[in-house]
Amino acid sequence: MLREVFEVLDLKNIRIWGGRPLEGTVNIQGSKNAVLPMMAAAVLHKGVTVLHGCPRIADVFCMEKILSHLGAKISWKGNSLYLDCSSLKNTDIPEQYACQMRCSIILLGALLGRFGRGAIAPPGGCVIGERPIDLHLSMLEALGTHIEEHEDLLRAYAPDLHGRDLRFQQQSVGATEHGIITAVLAKGVTYLENCAREPEILWLARFLNGMGASVKGAGTGEILVEGVAALRDSVFTVPPDRIVAGTYLCAAAATRGKICIENPPVSELPSFLGIYGKMGGQYDMVGGKLIADASRAYGPITRLETEVYPGFSTDLQSPVMAVLSLARGKSHIRENIFEDRFRVAEDLVHMGAHIRINGRDAYIDGTERLRGCRVTAQELRGGAALILAGLAAEGETTVENFQLVERGYEHIQEDIRCLGGTVSVEEI
């Protein structure tokens, strides 16, 4: 799957000259994980949807290509995205688009709600472990969908989508979002149990309700969706990205810097901020801004476990590993979400970190310094972690495959420069 991703993205490297504490002010982009399901849900409406504050990132551009293939008319004004889905005609999503990101599967429910049919190639995404779509397919079948699984295509038919009570076998952000989207135009009431509670699900519900849907309970384990006949035109502002905010706080911690975040999603980062505090980082809210002092963020974490929200996010595990590589003492990370999310450890070791991996456990013996060298991003968050390590390291670091980082970070190189870092991006 990594090879397939490389085939559709322009290859880039980012060069970092490290060894300087970051200082300055940064504004957080719109949320990647929030906007993608909103774009998919726009398919349900035979009209216009406007998303302000939309991040101009590779995954959004990929979803834009898919929607254009389906027949949507799309335009941009700065970071405002205009989606006119009044004249959709196609219902098949080919492999060239679906292979690029896992969340493309949720378009299937939107197509079923709009047309009663849809087809998609098995979806792709980052190489961080198995992410089966069984939960998605069983949900669709429960709501009245007939699915035919071909070798390279999932073809679905739902002439009569109907609500029902459904309990997910395990908490899944994507499956929960997919269930909500599929149920919006279904007949009757859909009651979803054991739902994921991530903030992005609450934002999706607010977005849909603004279009005329009836979604209640988002952000809890139980969600009620009352089907409606149609949706209406809407305008919505995408919330700031909590993972990007956490990444920049990790950048401050890795370099022992002091930064200001102008639009911090603090309420969505309780577990991360707890870990940041244990490392020695300090922060204060002043006039709606987060003022962070990470000059003493060198404390180890004896045990950190990734969990479903509101637990510690797996998306911030790699950036925190980079920080803990420079801690004064021993740390332990257990990865409970994705079994292959320690890929970045090998490159951190190449930079001088002392990390030992045993299955789902990473044991980190902090070192005084990292050294700049040439490393390779293998996935989105691991690539961001290598950039942080490069900012803290002595000398020059080159991170290959920077295009993978651009899947989720709109202008990380410009943000780093605003914080006093020195970076340059080169296309291959």
Contact status, residue 108 vs residue 156, Cβ threshold 8 Å: yes
Q: What is the rounded (10 degree) CA torsion for 13, 14, 15, 21?
A: -160
Write the single-letter amino acid at 40: A
* Structure confidence by residue, pLDDT tens digits, 322-360: 999 999 999 999 999 988 889 999 999 999 999 999 999
Tell me the C-alpha to C-alpha distance, in Å, between residue 405 and each of 28, 130, 213, 394, 396: 16, 20, 34, 22, 19
CATH fold of the domain at 32-237: UDP-n-acetylglucosamine1-carboxyvinyl-transferase; Chain (3.65.10)
Q: Which two tokens stand for residue 159?
A: 């002439």
Residue ranges covered by each domain of the chain: 2-28+240-427, 32-237
Q: What pLDDT was estimated at residue 9?
A: 67
* Structure confidence by residue, pLDDT tens digits, 39-88: 999 999 999 999 999 999 999 999 999 999 999 999 999 999 999 999 99
Q: How far is CA 67 from the centre of its chain?
A: 19
Q: What pLDDT was estimated at residue 206?
A: 98
Question: Taking residues 382-392, what's their average pLDDT?
Answer: 98
* Structure confidence by residue, pLDDT tens digits, 390-428: 999 999 999 999 999 999 999 999 999 999 999 999 998
**Cβ count within 10 A of residue 139:** 23
**Would you call 373 a catalytic residue per the annotation?**
no
- CATH numeric code, 2-28+240-427: 3.65.10.10
| Catalytic residue (choose from 54, 99, 103, 126) | 126
Residue 6: band (very low, low, confident or very high) from pLDDT cuts 50, 70, 90 = very low
Beta strands at 154-157 and 165-167: parallel, antiparallel or unpaired: unpaired
Going by C-beta distance under 8 Å and a sequence separation of 6 or more, which residues neighbour residue 358? Answer: none
The residues facing 214 across adjacent strands are 226
User: Could you tell me the pTM of the whole model?
Assistant: 0.95
Query: Do the two domains 2-28+240-427 and 32-237 of this chain adopt the same fold?
Result: yes
> Residues 224, 228, 232, CA angle at the centre, nearest 5°?
115
